[in-house]
Amino acid sequence: MGDQEFRALQSAYYDSLHIDRGFKAHEMVERFELGFREYVGAEHAIAVNGGGTGLDIALAIAEVGPDDEVISCAINFHGTHLAVLGRGSRLVLAEPEAPSLNISPTHLEALLTPRTRAVVVTHMNGHPAKIDAIEKVIHEYSDSQKTRPIISIYDACRACGAEYQSEKIGSRGSMTVFSFQSKKIITTLGEGGMIVTNDQAFARRAREIRSFGLGRAWGSNFKLTKIQAAVGQVQLGKLNALVNRRRQLALQRNSILGRCDALVLPTDGPNDRCSYNLYTLLLKGPKSPEARTYVMHALEELGIGCVVANEPTWKSNSYIANLVASRNNPVAEDIGSRIFCPSIHPLMTDDENAYIANAIAEACEKIEGRS
Protein backbone atom coordinates (compact mmCIF):
# COMPACT_ATOMS: atom_id res chain seq x y z
CA MET A 1 0.00 0.00 0.00
CA GLY A 2 1.36 3.42 -0.98
CA ASP A 3 1.35 6.63 1.08
CA GLN A 4 -1.71 7.99 -0.72
CA GLU A 5 -3.74 4.86 0.00
CA PHE A 6 -2.65 4.90 3.65
CA ARG A 7 -3.67 8.53 4.10
CA ALA A 8 -7.06 7.87 2.45
CA LEU A 9 -7.60 4.85 4.68
CA GLN A 10 -6.62 6.78 7.79
CA SER A 11 -8.95 9.68 6.92
CA ALA A 12 -11.89 7.38 6.22
CA TYR A 13 -11.29 5.45 9.43
CA TYR A 14 -11.20 8.49 11.70
CA ASP A 15 -14.19 9.97 9.91
CA SER A 16 -16.15 6.79 10.58
CA LEU A 17 -15.55 7.12 14.35
CA HIS A 18 -18.05 10.00 14.35
CA ILE A 19 -21.51 8.44 14.60
CA ASP A 20 -23.19 11.02 12.39
CA ARG A 21 -20.58 10.57 9.66
CA GLY A 22 -20.52 6.79 10.01
CA PHE A 23 -24.10 6.67 8.81
CA LYS A 24 -23.01 8.48 5.66
CA ALA A 25 -20.64 5.78 4.45
CA HIS A 26 -22.58 5.68 1.18
CA GLU A 27 -21.18 9.11 0.25
CA MET A 28 -17.63 7.77 -0.03
CA VAL A 29 -18.85 4.79 -2.01
CA GLU A 30 -20.86 7.03 -4.33
CA ARG A 31 -17.80 9.16 -5.04
CA PHE A 32 -15.87 6.03 -5.99
CA GLU A 33 -18.76 4.88 -8.19
CA LEU A 34 -18.95 8.26 -9.90
CA GLY A 35 -15.23 8.27 -10.65
CA PHE A 36 -15.34 4.71 -11.96
CA ARG A 37 -18.33 5.19 -14.26
CA GLU A 38 -16.74 8.33 -15.68
CA TYR A 39 -13.51 6.40 -16.24
CA VAL A 40 -15.14 3.55 -18.20
CA GLY A 41 -17.80 5.69 -19.90
CA ALA A 42 -20.87 3.95 -18.48
CA GLU A 43 -24.00 5.59 -17.14
CA HIS A 44 -24.19 3.64 -13.88
CA ALA A 45 -21.66 2.02 -11.54
CA ILE A 46 -22.58 -0.06 -8.49
CA ALA A 47 -19.82 -0.98 -6.05
CA VAL A 48 -20.01 -4.46 -4.48
CA ASN A 49 -17.82 -6.60 -2.23
CA GLY A 50 -16.25 -8.73 -4.98
CA GLY A 51 -16.12 -9.60 -8.67
CA GLY A 52 -17.77 -12.96 -7.99
CA THR A 53 -20.56 -11.18 -6.16
CA GLY A 54 -20.92 -8.86 -9.15
CA LEU A 55 -21.40 -11.82 -11.50
CA ASP A 56 -23.94 -13.39 -9.12
CA ILE A 57 -25.90 -10.13 -9.05
CA ALA A 58 -25.70 -9.63 -12.82
CA LEU A 59 -27.07 -13.12 -13.48
CA ALA A 60 -29.84 -12.53 -10.93
CA ILE A 61 -30.76 -9.29 -12.71
CA ALA A 62 -30.87 -11.23 -16.00
CA GLU A 63 -33.37 -13.56 -14.26
CA VAL A 64 -31.40 -16.61 -15.31
CA GLY A 65 -33.05 -19.76 -14.01
CA PRO A 66 -33.18 -23.57 -14.24
CA ASP A 67 -34.89 -23.57 -17.64
CA ASP A 68 -32.24 -21.34 -19.19
CA GLU A 69 -28.93 -21.81 -20.97
CA VAL A 70 -25.95 -19.53 -20.41
CA ILE A 71 -23.03 -19.60 -22.86
CA SER A 72 -19.49 -18.88 -21.70
CA CYS A 73 -16.00 -19.67 -22.96
CA ALA A 74 -14.57 -22.97 -21.73
CA ILE A 75 -11.21 -21.30 -21.02
CA ASN A 76 -12.00 -19.33 -17.88
CA PHE A 77 -11.55 -18.81 -14.18
CA HIS A 78 -13.84 -21.30 -12.50
CA GLY A 79 -15.60 -18.61 -10.45
CA THR A 80 -17.24 -17.28 -13.63
CA HIS A 81 -18.85 -20.64 -14.33
CA LEU A 82 -19.76 -21.23 -10.70
CA ALA A 83 -21.83 -18.04 -10.88
CA VAL A 84 -23.77 -19.50 -13.81
CA LEU A 85 -24.29 -22.88 -12.15
CA GLY A 86 -25.33 -21.15 -8.95
CA ARG A 87 -28.46 -19.98 -10.73
CA GLY A 88 -29.36 -23.59 -11.54
CA SER A 89 -29.06 -22.92 -15.27
CA ARG A 90 -27.34 -25.02 -17.94
CA LEU A 91 -23.78 -23.91 -18.67
CA VAL A 92 -22.94 -24.20 -22.39
CA LEU A 93 -19.22 -24.07 -23.13
CA ALA A 94 -17.90 -22.22 -26.18
CA GLU A 95 -14.50 -22.50 -27.81
CA PRO A 96 -11.81 -19.83 -27.44
CA GLU A 97 -9.69 -18.09 -30.03
CA ALA A 98 -5.89 -17.94 -29.82
CA PRO A 99 -3.90 -16.06 -28.70
CA SER A 100 -6.49 -13.93 -26.84
CA LEU A 101 -8.22 -16.96 -25.22
CA ASN A 102 -11.50 -15.08 -25.61
CA ILE A 103 -14.78 -16.59 -26.78
CA SER A 104 -15.08 -17.28 -30.51
CA PRO A 105 -18.01 -15.27 -31.97
CA THR A 106 -18.38 -17.93 -34.67
CA HIS A 107 -18.74 -20.75 -32.16
CA LEU A 108 -21.02 -18.59 -30.01
CA GLU A 109 -23.34 -18.18 -32.98
CA ALA A 110 -23.51 -21.97 -33.44
CA LEU A 111 -24.47 -22.49 -29.79
CA LEU A 112 -27.37 -20.03 -29.52
CA THR A 113 -30.80 -21.64 -29.00
CA PRO A 114 -34.25 -20.37 -27.94
CA ARG A 115 -33.28 -21.38 -24.39
CA THR A 116 -30.26 -19.05 -24.31
CA ARG A 117 -30.90 -16.40 -21.70
CA ALA A 118 -27.45 -14.90 -21.28
CA VAL A 119 -23.91 -14.93 -22.62
CA VAL A 120 -21.08 -14.38 -20.13
CA VAL A 121 -18.05 -13.06 -22.02
CA THR A 122 -14.70 -12.91 -20.25
CA HIS A 123 -12.04 -10.42 -21.32
CA MET A 124 -9.44 -13.06 -20.56
CA ASN A 125 -6.34 -11.91 -18.67
CA GLY A 126 -6.89 -8.33 -19.83
CA HIS A 127 -7.40 -9.02 -23.55
CA PRO A 128 -10.56 -7.33 -24.88
CA ALA A 129 -13.04 -9.72 -26.45
CA LYS A 130 -14.56 -8.96 -29.87
CA ILE A 131 -17.49 -7.02 -28.46
CA ASP A 132 -18.90 -5.75 -31.78
CA ALA A 133 -18.96 -9.23 -33.32
CA ILE A 134 -20.43 -10.76 -30.15
CA GLU A 135 -23.18 -8.16 -29.85
CA LYS A 136 -24.00 -8.51 -33.56
CA VAL A 137 -24.38 -12.29 -33.23
CA ILE A 138 -26.60 -11.94 -30.16
CA HIS A 139 -28.87 -9.25 -31.59
CA GLU A 140 -29.26 -10.87 -35.00
CA TYR A 141 -30.23 -14.17 -33.41
CA SER A 142 -32.73 -12.53 -31.05
CA ASP A 143 -34.28 -10.56 -33.92
CA SER A 144 -34.54 -13.56 -36.24
CA GLN A 145 -36.02 -15.87 -33.60
CA LYS A 146 -38.15 -13.18 -31.98
CA THR A 147 -37.01 -14.52 -28.62
CA ARG A 148 -36.72 -12.57 -25.40
CA PRO A 149 -33.57 -10.43 -25.40
CA ILE A 150 -30.35 -12.28 -24.63
CA ILE A 151 -28.41 -10.52 -21.88
CA SER A 152 -24.68 -9.99 -22.51
CA ILE A 153 -22.66 -9.94 -19.29
CA TYR A 154 -18.98 -9.08 -19.63
CA ASP A 155 -16.55 -10.42 -17.06
CA ALA A 156 -13.82 -7.78 -16.88
CA CYS A 157 -12.44 -8.97 -13.55
CA ARG A 158 -8.98 -9.20 -15.13
CA ALA A 159 -9.45 -6.36 -17.60
CA CYS A 160 -9.70 -3.15 -15.63
CA GLY A 161 -8.18 -0.37 -17.74
CA ALA A 162 -8.21 -2.35 -20.99
CA GLU A 163 -9.57 -0.76 -24.17
CA TYR A 164 -11.66 -2.07 -27.04
CA GLN A 165 -11.79 0.03 -30.22
CA SER A 166 -10.17 2.93 -28.32
CA GLU A 167 -12.87 2.85 -25.61
CA LYS A 168 -12.42 1.67 -22.04
CA ILE A 169 -13.92 -1.75 -21.34
CA GLY A 170 -17.28 -1.29 -19.60
CA SER A 171 -19.15 1.06 -21.91
CA ARG A 172 -20.87 -1.67 -23.99
CA GLY A 173 -23.05 -4.71 -23.42
CA SER A 174 -25.86 -5.22 -20.91
CA MET A 175 -23.56 -5.25 -17.87
CA THR A 176 -19.83 -5.45 -17.14
CA VAL A 177 -18.33 -6.73 -13.89
CA PHE A 178 -14.92 -5.72 -12.50
CA SER A 179 -12.86 -7.09 -9.61
CA PHE A 180 -10.60 -5.24 -7.18
CA GLN A 181 -9.22 -8.37 -5.52
CA SER A 182 -5.60 -8.11 -4.42
CA LYS A 183 -4.19 -9.83 -7.54
CA LYS A 184 -5.95 -7.40 -9.88
CA ILE A 185 -4.49 -4.21 -11.36
CA ILE A 186 -6.11 -2.02 -8.71
CA THR A 187 -7.46 -3.21 -5.38
CA THR A 188 -9.77 -2.09 -2.59
CA LEU A 189 -7.96 -3.67 0.34
CA GLY A 190 -7.95 -7.21 -1.01
CA GLU A 191 -11.55 -7.64 -2.16
CA GLY A 192 -14.17 -5.57 -3.95
CA GLY A 193 -15.88 -5.18 -7.29
CA MET A 194 -18.00 -3.00 -9.55
CA ILE A 195 -20.96 -3.57 -11.85
CA VAL A 196 -21.36 -1.03 -14.66
CA THR A 197 -24.30 -0.69 -17.03
CA ASN A 198 -26.10 1.78 -19.27
CA ASP A 199 -29.50 0.30 -18.31
CA GLN A 200 -31.26 2.25 -15.57
CA ALA A 201 -33.49 -0.69 -14.58
CA PHE A 202 -30.50 -3.01 -14.25
CA ALA A 203 -28.70 -0.44 -12.09
CA ARG A 204 -31.73 0.00 -9.86
CA ARG A 205 -32.05 -3.76 -9.35
CA ALA A 206 -28.31 -4.10 -8.63
CA ARG A 207 -28.57 -1.50 -5.86
CA GLU A 208 -31.56 -3.31 -4.39
CA ILE A 209 -29.83 -6.68 -4.32
CA ARG A 210 -26.67 -5.13 -2.89
CA SER A 211 -28.37 -3.57 0.13
CA PHE A 212 -31.22 -5.60 1.60
CA GLY A 213 -33.64 -4.71 -1.20
CA LEU A 214 -33.72 -1.01 -0.21
CA GLY A 215 -37.06 -1.66 1.47
CA ARG A 216 -38.86 -2.67 -1.70
CA ALA A 217 -37.40 -5.98 -2.97
CA TRP A 218 -35.26 -8.98 -2.00
CA GLY A 219 -31.63 -8.25 -1.29
CA SER A 220 -28.79 -8.96 1.09
CA ASN A 221 -25.55 -7.29 2.17
CA PHE A 222 -23.07 -7.17 -0.71
CA LYS A 223 -21.83 -3.64 -0.05
CA LEU A 224 -18.32 -2.22 -0.37
CA THR A 225 -17.14 -0.49 2.80
CA LYS A 226 -16.40 3.19 3.16
CA ILE A 227 -12.71 2.50 3.85
CA GLN A 228 -12.42 0.29 0.77
CA ALA A 229 -14.04 3.00 -1.35
CA ALA A 230 -11.55 5.58 -0.07
CA VAL A 231 -8.63 3.38 -1.13
CA GLY A 232 -10.38 2.60 -4.43
CA GLN A 233 -10.55 6.28 -5.33
CA VAL A 234 -6.79 6.63 -4.88
CA GLN A 235 -6.11 3.44 -6.84
CA LEU A 236 -8.40 4.59 -9.67
CA GLY A 237 -6.26 7.69 -10.05
CA LYS A 238 -3.26 5.43 -10.64
CA LEU A 239 -4.98 2.97 -12.99
CA ASN A 240 -3.79 4.40 -16.31
CA ALA A 241 -0.19 4.61 -15.10
CA LEU A 242 -0.33 1.01 -13.82
CA VAL A 243 -1.74 -0.28 -17.12
CA ASN A 244 0.81 1.70 -19.13
CA ARG A 245 3.65 0.21 -17.10
CA ARG A 246 2.31 -3.32 -17.55
CA ARG A 247 2.10 -2.69 -21.29
CA GLN A 248 5.69 -1.43 -21.38
CA LEU A 249 6.85 -4.59 -19.65
CA ALA A 250 4.81 -6.80 -21.99
CA LEU A 251 6.17 -5.09 -25.09
CA GLN A 252 9.73 -5.42 -23.77
CA ARG A 253 9.13 -9.13 -23.25
CA ASN A 254 7.65 -9.52 -26.71
CA SER A 255 10.74 -7.87 -28.19
CA ILE A 256 13.03 -10.34 -26.43
CA LEU A 257 10.84 -13.38 -27.04
CA GLY A 258 10.34 -12.59 -30.72
CA ARG A 259 13.38 -14.77 -31.41
CA CYS A 260 11.68 -17.79 -29.84
CA ASP A 261 9.93 -19.97 -32.42
CA ALA A 262 8.30 -22.13 -29.75
CA LEU A 263 5.96 -19.39 -28.48
CA VAL A 264 2.79 -17.59 -29.49
CA LEU A 265 3.07 -14.08 -28.02
CA PRO A 266 0.20 -11.92 -26.74
CA THR A 267 -0.82 -9.12 -29.10
CA ASP A 268 -3.34 -6.29 -29.32
CA GLY A 269 -6.12 -6.14 -31.88
CA PRO A 270 -6.48 -2.99 -34.01
CA ASN A 271 -7.37 -0.08 -31.69
CA ASP A 272 -7.38 -2.44 -28.68
CA ARG A 273 -5.19 -2.20 -25.57
CA CYS A 274 -4.66 -5.22 -23.35
CA SER A 275 -4.20 -4.32 -19.68
CA TYR A 276 -1.92 -7.34 -19.08
CA ASN A 277 -3.40 -8.35 -15.75
CA LEU A 278 -1.55 -11.52 -16.73
CA TYR A 279 1.09 -11.99 -19.42
CA THR A 280 -0.19 -15.02 -21.33
CA LEU A 281 2.03 -17.22 -23.46
CA LEU A 282 1.17 -20.29 -25.54
CA LEU A 283 3.59 -23.00 -26.52
CA LYS A 284 3.16 -23.64 -30.22
CA GLY A 285 1.41 -26.98 -30.70
CA PRO A 286 1.63 -29.85 -30.96
CA LYS A 287 3.46 -29.57 -27.66
CA SER A 288 2.73 -31.99 -24.85
CA PRO A 289 1.69 -30.87 -21.35
CA GLU A 290 5.10 -32.18 -20.26
CA ALA A 291 6.76 -29.44 -22.33
CA ARG A 292 4.87 -26.76 -20.42
CA THR A 293 5.72 -28.44 -17.13
CA TYR A 294 9.39 -28.37 -18.13
CA VAL A 295 9.29 -24.63 -18.90
CA MET A 296 7.43 -23.74 -15.72
CA HIS A 297 9.77 -25.85 -13.60
CA ALA A 298 12.80 -24.18 -15.21
CA LEU A 299 11.37 -20.75 -14.37
CA GLU A 300 10.50 -21.72 -10.82
CA GLU A 301 14.07 -22.91 -10.23
CA LEU A 302 15.18 -19.37 -11.12
CA GLY A 303 12.70 -17.84 -8.68
CA ILE A 304 10.23 -16.78 -11.39
CA GLY A 305 6.58 -17.31 -10.52
CA CYS A 306 4.37 -18.88 -13.16
CA VAL A 307 0.72 -20.01 -13.28
CA VAL A 308 -1.64 -21.70 -15.73
CA ALA A 309 -4.47 -19.23 -16.30
CA ASN A 310 -6.55 -20.99 -17.29
CA GLU A 311 -7.37 -24.44 -18.54
CA PRO A 312 -11.03 -25.36 -19.24
CA THR A 313 -12.83 -24.97 -15.93
CA TRP A 314 -13.90 -28.60 -15.65
CA LYS A 315 -10.24 -29.57 -15.39
CA SER A 316 -9.68 -27.53 -12.23
CA ASN A 317 -13.10 -27.85 -10.58
CA SER A 318 -14.82 -31.19 -9.98
CA TYR A 319 -18.14 -29.49 -9.20
CA ILE A 320 -18.19 -28.00 -12.69
CA ALA A 321 -17.04 -31.30 -14.21
CA ASN A 322 -19.94 -33.11 -12.54
CA LEU A 323 -22.56 -30.61 -13.71
CA VAL A 324 -21.37 -29.98 -17.26
CA ALA A 325 -21.90 -33.31 -18.99
CA SER A 326 -21.37 -32.04 -22.56
CA ARG A 327 -17.73 -30.99 -22.92
CA ASN A 328 -17.03 -31.05 -26.65
CA ASN A 329 -14.28 -28.42 -26.67
CA PRO A 330 -11.18 -29.77 -28.42
CA VAL A 331 -9.85 -26.26 -29.14
CA ALA A 332 -10.12 -25.29 -25.47
CA GLU A 333 -8.46 -28.53 -24.37
CA ASP A 334 -5.59 -28.00 -26.80
CA ILE A 335 -5.04 -24.35 -25.89
CA GLY A 336 -5.45 -25.14 -22.20
CA SER A 337 -2.59 -27.62 -22.36
CA ARG A 338 -0.22 -24.97 -23.76
CA ILE A 339 -0.98 -21.87 -21.63
CA PHE A 340 1.43 -20.48 -19.07
CA CYS A 341 1.61 -17.06 -17.47
CA PRO A 342 4.94 -15.88 -16.00
CA SER A 343 4.58 -13.20 -13.35
CA ILE A 344 4.32 -9.54 -14.32
CA HIS A 345 3.99 -6.51 -12.04
CA PRO A 346 4.34 -2.75 -12.58
CA LEU A 347 7.02 -2.52 -9.86
CA MET A 348 9.35 -4.77 -11.86
CA THR A 349 12.38 -2.99 -13.27
CA ASP A 350 13.35 -3.29 -16.92
CA ASP A 351 16.33 -5.41 -15.89
CA GLU A 352 14.17 -7.79 -13.86
CA ASN A 353 11.74 -8.04 -16.73
CA ALA A 354 14.50 -8.78 -19.23
CA TYR A 355 15.83 -11.47 -16.90
CA ILE A 356 12.41 -13.15 -16.90
CA ALA A 357 12.03 -12.91 -20.68
CA ASN A 358 15.51 -14.31 -21.34
CA ALA A 359 14.86 -17.17 -18.92
CA ILE A 360 11.64 -18.04 -20.80
CA ALA A 361 13.47 -17.94 -24.13
CA GLU A 362 16.27 -20.20 -22.87
CA ALA A 363 13.81 -22.75 -21.47
CA CYS A 364 11.86 -22.83 -24.73
CA GLU A 365 15.03 -23.16 -26.81
CA LYS A 366 15.94 -26.24 -24.75
CA ILE A 367 12.54 -27.73 -25.57
CA GLU A 368 13.13 -27.11 -29.25
CA GLY A 369 16.52 -28.79 -29.00
CA ARG A 370 14.97 -31.85 -27.37
CA SER A 371 12.12 -32.25 -29.87
Question: What DSSP assignment string belongs to 191-251?
Answer: --EEEEES-HHHHHHHHHHHBGGGGTS---B-PPPHHHHHHHHHHHHHHHHHHHHHHHHHH
Chain center to CA of 347: 21
pLDDT in tens, 204-217: 999 999 999 999 99
Which sign does the torsion angle of CA 185, 189, 192, 196 carry?
negative
- Cis peptide upstream of residue 128 (ω within 30 degrees of 0): no
Q: What is the mean pLDDT of residues 228-255?
A: 97
Question: CB of 104 within 8 A of CB of 97?
Answer: yes
pLDDT in tens, 337-371: 999 999 999 999 999 999 999 999 999 988 876 55
pLDDT in tens, 44-83: 999 999 999 999 999 999 999 999 999 999 999 999 999 9
Distance separating alpha carbons of residues 105 and 225, to the nearest angstrom: 38
Arithmetic mean of pLDDT over the chain = 93
With a CB cutoff of 8 Å and minimum separation 6, the contacts of 278 are: 125, 126, 158, 307, 309, 341, 344
Q: Which helix (H) or strand (E) holds 351?
A: helix 350-370
For residue 11, the model assigns a pLDDT of 63
Q: Is the pLDDT of residue 18 over 60?
A: no
- Report the chain's C-alpha Rg in angstroms: 21
pLDDT in tens, 293-308: 999 999 999 999 999 9
Q: Is the pLDDT of residue 19 over 50?
A: no
pLDDT in tens, 127-166: 999 999 999 999 999 988 877 899 999 999 999 999 999 9
Phi/psi of residue 350, each to 5°? Answer: -60, -40
Which sign does the torsion angle of CA 205, 207, 208, 209 carry?
positive
Q: Whats the size of the chain, residue-wise?
A: 371
For residue 23, the model assigns a pLDDT of 52
Q: What is the mean pLDDT of residues 271-284?
A: 97
Q: What is the mean pLDDT of residues 113-119?
A: 96
Say if pTM beats, i.e. exceeds, 0.75.
yes
Q: What does the CA dihedral 346, 121, 102, 111 come to, rounded to 10 degrees?
A: 170
For residue 14, the model assigns a pLDDT of 52
Question: CB of 299 within 8 A of CB of 65?
Answer: no
C-alpha atoms less than 13 angstroms from C-alpha of 310 in its C-beta half-sphere:
22
Phi/psi of residue 225, each to 5°? Answer: -80, 165
**What domains does the chain contain, in order, with CATH numbers?**
3-235 (3.40.640.10), 241-370 (3.90.1150.10)
Q: Is the pLDDT of residue 4 over 80?
A: no
